[in-house]
Amino acid sequence: MRLYGLIQLFALPLVYPEKVVFCMEKSMNSTTLARTKSEQLVIETQAAATQTSKSPTMQNEDAPITSESMGTLSRKSSQRMVVGASPGRSSGGNKNNTHIRKARSAQVKMDVEELSNGAALSRASSASLGLSFSFTGFTVPPDEITDSKPFSDDDIPEDIEAGTCKPKFQTEPTLPIYLKFSDVTYKVITKGMTTSEERDILNGITGAVSPGEVLALMGPSGSGKTTLLNLLGGRLIQSTVGGSVTYNDQPYSKFLKSKIGFVTQDDVLFPHLTVKETLTYTARLRLSKALSRQQKEKRAIDVIYELGLERCQDTMIGGSFVRGVSGGERKRVCIGNEIIINPSLLFLDEPTSGLDSTTALRTVQTLQNIAEAGKTVITTIHQPSSRLFHKFDKLILLGKGSSLYFGRASEAMAYFSSIGCSPLIAMNPAEFLLDLANGNINDISVPSELEDKVQVGNSETETRNEKPPPAVIHEYLVEAYESRVAENEKKKLMTPLPLDDEIKLKVFSSKREWGASWWQQYCILFCRGIKERRHDYFSWLRITQVLSTAIILGLLWWQSDSKSTRGRQDQAGLLFFIAVFWGFFPVFTAIFTFPQERAMLSKERAADMYRLSAYFLARTTSDLPLDLILPVLFLLVVYFMAGLRLSAGPFFLSMLTVFLCIIAAQGLGLAIGATLMDLKRATTLASVTVMTFMLAGGYFVKKVPVFISWIRYMSFNYHTYKLLLKVQYQDITPPVNGIKTDDGLWEVGALVAMIFGYRVLAYLSLRGMQLHRGA
């Protein structure tokens, strides 16, 4: 059929020359009419899209960006607004071809008579543009919209883990932030016994990324990816940082903390909270004060559905000893914790590490959707698949702390081919780039310059298979980048951004924006602390430990005699054990508080989620209701089994004394843990301290030498033991163990001073610890 058509096409001018001329003139006139009307329709379409669409508007590159028009058109929208553009890359196979054929047939079937009809013109243009809105006076039927919609890889596939299709990110416009960094350097000073050594981590890294783009930092392990990411995110403040990093041509300020989302490589989450609880607490702490609690909770639900987490929203996060959500879902929860504030800048450190290829692709697709909403995304990536690699807009390739490439990710292969490095076999672009960064040139062509260096150096150094060593390759790649790319990129960075002064001054603001008042922060953290730690405090192991100890004590001191001197001596031993047990137990429980939560505290304080004072008070007071339940059960068993003074007053006074001992011991554990922040050293110091306090507690040694007697007055065991004796034997003579039976106010005052003194020391230790910039 095609051959027959070609024969007719060439034979027609010979048989009917005058008809051919007439048809050509008619065709030219028809084409001109169609093109004129099509161009007019495109102009009207763009104007209607600008007025009716909720997505950010496209602006002229030369025109300044104002605060009223801060967003940018997403890449998908800009592709669909181009007439005659390709329907897009697709992984849909035959389904994609079907949509292409339908879209093309809709264009081919248009003739001059149909172009004069407004309804047909609207339908044809909607099919070619991929638009789903209607023009004034015309309505596109739903079946034609479905039939004419092009299929591309920008459409998110079905979420295998969640079982539903994830919608696009429809967030309000944010403050656009253009990130630029030039000649960034970073050094680490390693201090030895006698000398200190400086080691270069970053050597003059230059780059830039704009809203709507995804920048990937790629390189082998130890190349400086994470260090560069932390530096760009404002999390390194050492004096060894060099170069310039600007946000909308302004330096870093505390205001940016509320505009930056930072996803760490490790999933730092509370294991006993559910997905919904985790995101809800984050929303209540980080979202603006102007929003009500209901609006913040609704935003958390929206993020859950945007990330496809609705199936597991009531499942605990889980951890090492607790079963919870899968690795991909946990990573999406971490991303949700950051995007819930609608950040302008989003940093991610190895978001695909530990994930399978399908989950990793879904995660990167999520990042692409976030960028399309007008945000700036920077992520480190170790070894992406070819599908992941092609989803990045810009790429920085690092090797030993130096830049080997910066530019469009799609142009990386062409650049390295231009300097003589190209793969000899078909391979993943990411694998090719990482091989070059590592100096491994197997299956990679070597430029003539490097071959000459191999021949010259053969007499001095041995090379395997006549390949240049990795150091030579690294030096060649760095020199090639400096001579061909670096200068041009630095010149581009010198050009000022087309931003108005209002946006620039907004970024430069030094005022922090808290999402909640101090009291609201305290209440939220108090509730979160109780929900998180109730599983540990009421575990069957802990309850069994306390109750079994109480029963054993009750059986050993079963109905002891308090009337005889020997019986009172036996009961004094029981009272001293109670003072030691409820002094030892809380200390070693509280030691783990801050060292275990250091990663969470660093992460949340770096994002300005709350004030340190609100966190500290909520953390210490949320433990009290949980810590005071088990002592009540313990005393209910021991007190009546041992036959202590059966009266309401002595019973409640004994319980109050034990409570004071527990709170004071907790303060000591908090102070040791916050000061050392190392579990091994903290446990060692606590063991020595508690043992010393126990020996000086007044039971083993009655007369302590004067030069060491001050230890006795620092021991909470000593004051607790004296109070318990005074409660039990207040009106009995002679005094037990030589302790005077007075009112005990001095011992109460000493315990209260320990309660506040140890906690003030713990708070000052946390305040002095530099968690992150501005913490």
* Res 446 pLDDT > 80: no
Higher pLDDT, 633 or 91: 633
How much is the pLDDT for 59? Answer: 41
Contact 508, 253 (CB under 8 A): yes
- In the three-class reduction of DSSP (H, G, I as helix; E, B as strand; rest coil), residue 356 is classed as coil
Interior/surface letters 415-437, b for 16+ CB within 10 angstroms, e for the rest? bbeebbbebeeeebbbbbbbbbb
- Whole-angstrom Cα distance, residue 383 to residue 230? 20
pLDDT-derived band at 736, boundaries 50, 70, 90: low
* Res 631 pLDDT > 50: yes
Instruction: Write the CB contacts of 11 (distance below 8 Å, at least 6 apart in sequence).
Output: none
pLDDT-derived band at 452, boundaries 50, 70, 90: low
175 alpha carbon, distance to own chain's centre: 20
How much is the pLDDT for 740? Answer: 63
- Span 182-200, mean pLDDT? 83
Q: Strand 345-348 and strand 260-263: pairing?
A: parallel
- Span 520-534, mean pLDDT? 93
Least confident of 154-158, 624-628, 738-742: 154-158
Which of 201, 704, 581 minimizes the C-alpha distance to 713? Answer: 704
Q: Strand 241-247 and strand 179-191: pairing?
A: antiparallel
pLDDT-derived band at 363, boundaries 50, 70, 90: confident
- Whole-angstrom Cα distance, residue 162 to residue 307? 9
Neighbours of 491 (CB within 10 A): 9
Q: What is the DSSP string of 253-279?
A: -GGGGGGEEEE-SS----TTSBHHHHH
Query: Has this prediction a pTM greater than 0.75?
Result: no
pLDDT per position as a tens digit, 389-424: 999 999 999 999 999 999 999 999 999 999 999 998
Higher pLDDT, 334 or 498: 334
Distances (CA, A) of 300 to 274, 313, 682: 13, 11, 38
* Res 429 pLDDT > 80: yes
- In the three-class reduction of DSSP (H, G, I as helix; E, B as strand; rest coil), residue 372 is classed as helix
How much is the pLDDT for 769? Answer: 76
pLDDT per position as a tens digit, 470-488: 888 999 999 999 998 888 8
Name residue 328's amino acid. G
- Whole-angstrom Cα distance, residue 655 to residue 669? 21
- Span 718-740, mean pLDDT? 76
How much is the pLDDT for 535? Answer: 81
- Span 292-320, mean pLDDT? 92
Instruction: Write the burial class of residue 590 (CB in 10 Å: 0-12 exposed, 13-18 middle, 19+ buried).
Output: buried
- Whole-angstrom Cα distance, residue 346 to residue 131? 30
- Span 730-741, mean pLDDT? 63
Instruction: Write the CB contacts of 224 (distance below 8 Å, at least 6 apart in sequence).
Output: 186, 201, 202, 205, 398, 400, 401
pLDDT-derived band at 720, boundaries 50, 70, 90: very high
Highest-pLDDT range among 148-152, 167-171, 440-444, 595-599: 595-599
- Span 92-117, mean pLDDT? 41
Q: What is the DSSP string of 554-621?
A: HHHTTT--SSSHHHHHHHHHHHHHHHHHHHHHHHHHHTTHHHHTHHHHHHHHHTT-S-HHHHHHHHHH
How much is the pLDDT for 453? Answer: 64
Tokens 């390295």, residue?
416
- Whole-angstrom Cα distance, residue 46 to residue 48? 5
83 alpha carbon, distance to own chain's centre: 39
* Res 738 pLDDT > 90: no
375: its two tokens:
């945000």
- Span 173-177, mean pLDDT? 83
Length of the chain: 775
* Res 119 pLDDT > 50: no
Instruction: Write the CB contacts of 329 (distance below 8 Å, at least 6 apart in sequence).
Output: 161, 275, 309, 312
* Res 751 pLDDT > 90: yes
Higher pLDDT, 99 or 670: 670
Tokens 């399309």, residue?
372
* Res 138 pLDDT > 60: no
pLDDT per position as a tens digit, 528-577: 999 998 887 777 888 898 999 999 999 999 988 777 778 888 888 999 99
- Span 300-320, mean pLDDT? 92
Higher pLDDT, 232 or 499: 232
